Homo-oligomer: A and B are copies of this chain.
């Protein structure tokens, strides 16, 4: 995290709130702490390796993060994707090593807050603790949905579900207009997310496209044309899903 680290947020790059979405109503103190730990990272920067020690909480302000793991042969599975306004604290049972890799999928600005500082913040601000536990609950719910489809779903249902999940999460932060949104992922990357080869992602996307349910252009600009049909393919009830994976404030 040295050479690719950028010191300051580029001028002009501003998200909807100065400190990220879930912190829009945050205390002055919290805002100040977040601002003091803000960093910018280029796409493809690896912030944390599998097995590495971890002692900081990542509060994403802008950009996408991928949480992933890899097999010995190099095959990568994206365990989760972290969007602006979300928090991730990568540690495991022993309390200090990360069992996952964390990397930037796009240019990203993140408050990297040392865990000691963070827990003091939480002690003084019960709201913040509630925000974090809710964020974790949302993450667990969407991971469960994806696990279900990894284990029992078809290629179509995996992709359909991923599109719905991302569309909903992006919608909550104003980054999805009428079912249109941008994915900073190649088809290979999307395959790593849904457990398919890049080639099969392509075929599946085209099939959904031909049936008029979604369309894609230029490096993953997605438009969902028929949410009901897509939800049907995915096997979800959109409104129930929204309650389970979207944090409202």
Q: Please determine whether B195 and A77 come into contact, CB atoms closer than 8 angstroms.
A: no
B interface footprint on A140-155 (CB within 8 Å = 1, 0 otherwise) = 1101111110111100
> Which listed segment binds B: A8-16, A86-94, A178-186, A208-216?
A86-94
- On whether the beta carbons of A72 and B235 are closer than 8 Å, the reply is yes
Identify which of B75, B148, B151 contacts A152 (C-beta below 8 A). Answer: B75
Question: Quick check: is A95 within 8 A (CB to CB) of the other chain?
Answer: yes
Of all chain B residues, which has the CB nearest A93?
B138
Do residues A245 and B69 form an inter-chain contact, with CB atoms below 8 A? no
What is the distance, in angstroms, from A155's C-beta to the closest C-beta of chain B? Answer: 12
Residue of B whose beta carbon sits closest to that of A246 = B93
Asked whether B150 lies within 8 Å of A151 as measured between CB atoms, the reply is yes
Given A72-B235, A140-B140, A235-B72, verify A244-B148 contact (CB < 8 Å).
Answer: no
| A97 B152 Cβ-Cβ under 8 A | no
Interface assignment of A247: CB less than 8 Å from any CB of chain B:
yes
Contact flags A225-249 to B (C-beta < 8 A → 1, else 0):
0000000000100001001111110
**Within the oligomer, what is the number of copies of this chain?**
2
Q: Contact at A141–B71, with CB atoms within 8 Å?
A: no
> How distant is the Cα of A147 from the Cα of B76 in the complex, in angstroms?
11
Residues of B within 8 A of A143 (CB): 143, 147
Q: Give the nearest-CB partner of A122 in chain B.
A: B129
Contact status A91-B150, CB under 8 Å: no
Among the listed B94, B145, B194, B247, which residue makes an inter-chain contact with A69, where contact means beta carbons less than 8 Å apart?
Answer: B145
B138 near A69 with CB under 8 A, answer no
Partner of A99 from the list B100, B136, B157, B244 (CB cut-off 8 Å) is: B244
Most B-side CB within 10 Å, residue of A71, A77, A148: A148
